[in-house]
Amino acid sequence: MTRSDRSATSQPVDPVPGPGIVPAFTNPRTGRPALRTVSVVGLGSYVPPQILTNADLARMVDTSDDWITSRTGIRERRLASPNEATSDLACEAARRALSSAGLRPQDVDLIIVATITPDMPFPSTACLVQEKLGANRAAAFDVQAACSGYVYALDIASHFISSHTYETVLIIGAEKMSAFIDWTDRNTCVLFGDGAGAAVLQHRPHSHGLITTCLGANGGDARLLELPAGGSARPASPDTLSQRLHFLRMDGKETFRKAVTAMVSAGQEALARAHLTIADIRCIIPHQANHRIMSAVAERLGATPEQVFTNVERYGNTSAASVGIGLDEAVREGRIQTGDYVLLVVFGAGLTWGSALIHW
Ligand SMILES: CC(C)(COP(=O)(O)OP(=O)(O)OC[C@H]1O[C@@H](n2cnc3c(N)ncnc32)[C@H](O)[C@@H]1OP(=O)(O)O)[C@@H](O)C(=O)NCCC(=O)NCCS
């Protein structure tokens, strides 16, 4: 990506420094701070080995392989073991991403973990990952944007790098959804799975990189998809436990409708900012919620099925991990080559949504 491409981003280009602010790096010609391009320099993902098939689920709740496959496209999903937490899934994906970047944990300046299934309310899962990885130089924090979390983390990371604050940022979308699923509720338990996807980001002179990110949210629809209790509004009590309020709840039909609309408009906004059309995109990686949502999004964006990457049939909806796992697999499968344009479009609880356009 060239410097001029950067003018199509959501970030301010060459902002004028305020009084007293001394920018770390200045453009000698203009005297203004020079923003840097941001490249993905390493990718990794991890899914736990244990597979739960639709046939297994049909023995647990009143459902069938046919119902799940026709409504969602999901055939199986992965489950973390009881002694594996979200931070463990995140660490494995992170180690693979660092290895593919040729970097050590000590090279990382910042770790951002996107998750709605943290090991515990605090400390952050990112701090636990920092310790487990041995990334002792890194600052660390979590981002909570549900299934949109990976793109939110990507956006935040890009600002730290382009503004010269950090050189190397590790982002990880990681979820142990199985810990928050009501395994007696057929409406939701068939949809989700566990896993993690990670990326290492740096500025690489003369390399392609992130062109733009678009983020959105609508707290007015927060109740459509939520985990009602266990926070400060409804602390854990015998009452919340007996009402099963510590499990994920969802209005499936309304969530479906909102997801399609939001992902289409986020994708269109990214294309418009970059002055590209859908035909320019080699690979679209939508949030892997279910195949009907992805097909509807692709159709409305005018994309062909060949442009759309899916792995939902193998992993189900892994929330913040979904597009991170997808991006890693798409690159390893050769679906994305240097010079290609890649579009991520995401949607999740909050409601939140977003897109990221990357020149590979
Ligand atoms: C959940 C979802 C698959 C349901 O599909 P749907 O087409 O809306 O379902 P339908 O209306 O055809 O069927 C609903 C019926 O199926 C039943 N049903 C729900 N889950 C079932 C299951 N696993 N097996 C069998 N039947 C099931 C319901 O109880 C309901 O029965 P009723 O009509 O007797 O009350 C769909 O709404 C969806 O994908 N929503 C988006 C979910 C999502 O991706 N959320 C995460 C976003 S990040």
Q: Examine the fold and report which residue of 175, 207, 239 is the final residue of a domain before the chain moves on.
A: 207
| 3-state helix vs strand vs coil in the chain, percent to 5 | 40, 25, 40
- Residues 325, 222 share a domain: yes
Tokens 């981003």 belong to 9
User: Has residue 20 been placed in a domain?
Assistant: no
Confidence band for 1, pLDDT divided at 50, 70 and 90: very low
Residue 94 burial (10 A CB sphere; 0-12, 13-18, 19+):
buried
Q: What is the pLDDT of residues 71-107, one digit of tens each?
A: 999 999 999 999 999 999 999 999 999 999 999 999 9
**Structure-derived torsion over alpha carbons of residues 229, 233, 239, 245, reported in degrees to the nearest 10:** -20
CA distance 216 to 256: 17
Ligand 1 centroid to Cα of residue 190, in Å, is 10
Query: Distance from first CA to last CA of the chain, Å, rounded?
Result: 9
Q: Examine the fold and report which residue of 207, 225, 246 is the final residue of a domain before the chain moves on.
A: 207
Average pLDDT over residues 116-131: 98
- Residues 296, 172 share a domain: no
- Tell me, what's the pLDDT at 29? 65
CATH number at residue 45: 3.40.47.10
- Tell me, what's the pLDDT at 28? 61
- Residues 81, 110 share a domain: yes
Q: Give the domain range for residue 287.
A: 211-359
Does the beta carbon of 256 sit less than 6 angstroms from any atom of ligand 1?
A: yes
- Tell me, what's the pLDDT at 78? 98
Give every CB contact of residue 153 below 8 A, 6+ residues apart in sequence.
112, 113, 114, 143, 171, 172, 173, 320
CA distance 75 to 69: 6
Q: What is the pLDDT of residues 30-80, one digit of tens each?
A: 666 678 899 999 999 999 999 999 999 999 999 999 999 999 999 999 999
User: Has residue 353 been placed in a domain?
Assistant: yes
Ligand 1 atom closest to residue 72's alpha carbon, by position in its atom list: 3
Ligand 1 atom closest to residue 146's alpha carbon, by position in its atom list: 48
Contacts 24+ apart (CB under 8 A), 238-247: 244/182, 246/180, 247/180, 247/181, 247/182, 247/185, 247/188
**DSSP letters for 52-115:** EEHHHHHTTSS--HHHHHHHH---EEEE--TT--HHHHHHHHHHHHHHHHT--GGG-SEEEEE-
Length of the chain equals: 360
CA distance 92 to 318: 16
- Residues 186, 221 share a domain: no
Does the beta carbon of 249 sit less than 6 angstroms from any atom of ligand 1?
A: no
Confidence band for 20, pLDDT divided at 50, 70 and 90: very low
Is residue 119 within 8 A of residue 85, CB to CB? The reply is yes
- Residues 230, 135 share a domain: no
The pTM of the whole model exceeds 0.85: yes
Residue 125 has pLDDT above 50, yes or no: yes
CA distance 226 to 23: 42
User: Has residue 254 been placed in a domain?
Assistant: yes
- Residues 175, 228 share a domain: no
User: Has residue 100 been placed in a domain?
Assistant: yes
CA distance 174 to 126: 10
Mutate to test the pocket of ligand 1, among 54, 71, 353 (most ligand atoms within 8 A of CB): 71
Does the beta carbon of 234 sit less than 6 angstroms from any atom of ligand 1?
A: no
- Residues 156, 232 share a domain: no
Confidence band for 172, pLDDT divided at 50, 70 and 90: very high
Residue 25 has pLDDT above 60, yes or no: no
User: Has residue 4 been placed in a domain?
Assistant: no
Pick the residue whose CA is nearest to atom 30 on ligand 1: 187
Other beta carbons within 10 Å of 20:
5
Q: What is the pLDDT of residues 206-219, one digit of tens each?
A: 888 999 999 999 99
- Residues 235, 298 share a domain: yes
CA distance 5 to 125: 35
**DSSP letters for 227-274:** --SSSSSS---HHHHHTTTTS-EE-HHHHHHHHHHHHHHHHHHHHHHH
Average pLDDT over residues 291-315: 97
- Tell me, what's the pLDDT at 32? 61
Q: What is the pLDDT of residues 243-299, one digit of tens each?
A: 999 999 999 999 999 999 999 999 999 999 999 999 999 999 999 999 999 999 999
User: Has residue 340 been placed in a domain?
Assistant: yes
Q: Examine the fold and report which residue of 207, 232, 262 is the final residue of a domain before the chain moves on.
A: 207
- Residues 355, 252 share a domain: yes
Ligand 1 centroid to Cα of residue 252, in Å, is 6
- Residues 145, 290 share a domain: no
- Tell me, what's the pLDDT at 8? 40
Residue 11 has pLDDT above 50, yes or no: no
User: Has residue 26 been placed in a domain?
Assistant: no
- Residues 216, 201 share a domain: no
Other beta carbons within 10 Å of 258:
18
With a pLDDT cut of 70, the percent of the chain lying above it is 91
- Tell me, what's the pLDDT at 207? 84
Q: What is the pLDDT of residues 128-171, one digit of tens each?
A: 999 999 999 999 999 999 999 999 999 999 999 999 999 999 99
User: Has residue 175 been placed in a domain?
Assistant: yes
- Residues 240, 193 share a domain: no
Report how many domains make up the chain. 2
Region of residue 334 (left: phi > 0; alpha: psi -120 to 50; beta: else): left
